[in-house]
Amino acid sequence: MITPEVSSQLNKLSTTITDIQPEAISSLKSRLSSIRPFSDFFAKDRFSLPSDFNTFKTRASFNVIYFQNNYLLISVIVVAYFLITDLWLLVSGIFFFGGFKLVASKPDGITILEQKYSQAQLWTVYFVLSFLLFWLSGITSTLIYVFAVCGLFCLGHAGCLDKPIEAEYESMPDYGDEQV
């Protein structure tokens, strides 16, 4: 059973999450504005199999940083696809986030049919029901699929795409307007 101390900590977490929402929206806007053009992301002329593992590592480390927002967008699309195609998982997710908000907004508990339930009891029931819903929806297999699809796509793309020519010049030192 969840103690009142844990219940108060969960309330503080809910308040913190509510306070972070404006910061998250501004962070999301900045990430979306820095997505690289898809003509650059899917440049067919720069795709080639690396000759060795060292080349693969070099390409992957550069491209993961250079295209990080594109990879994040692809991952969000994959997660959205799995949520849309698995109705139980979607219902479980809605219950999880909606229930968290609902229980956190009731610090005094609720009364149902003249029976008073404390917030600690609500947290306990909420966690048990959330766990059961996610277990019934098959969250583990879905997570394995999501990680596999996103990992294979992102690492495969990052390792097989050459650096853009502009990136080669960015690593060169700038000598300013010196005359040679």
Q: What is the pLDDT along the chain (180 residues), one digit of tens a residue?
A: 556 665 565 566 555 555 666 776 777 677 777 788 888 888 888 888 999 999 999 999 998 988 889 999 999 999 999 989 989 999 998 999 998 888 888 888 888 888 888 888 888 999 999 999 999 988 999 999 999 999 999 999 999 988 877 766 665 555 555 555
Rounded to whole angstroms, how far apart are CA atoms 60 and 44? 17
Give pLDDT, residue 128.
Answer: 94
Please report which residue ranges of the chain form alpha helices under DSSP H. 4-33, 38-41, 53-66, 68-85, 87-104, 119-137, 139-160, 165-170
Give pLDDT, residue 120.
Answer: 87
Question: Nearest Cα to 62, choosing from 180, 171, 163?
Answer: 163
Give pLDDT, residue 152.
Answer: 94
Contact 59, 160 (CB under 8 A): yes
Rounded to whole angstroms, how far apart are CA atoms 117 and 124? 11
Rounded to whole angstroms, how far apart are CA atoms 146 and 140? 10
Give pLDDT, residue 129.
Answer: 93
Give pLDDT, residue 154.
Answer: 92
Contact 32, 69 (CB under 8 A): yes
pTM here is: 0.68
Give pLDDT, residue 32.
Answer: 72
Bridge-based pairing state of the strands 115-117 and 110-112: antiparallel
At position 60, the amino acid (one-letter code) is A
Contact 167, 66 (CB under 8 A): yes
Give pLDDT, residue 12.
Answer: 62
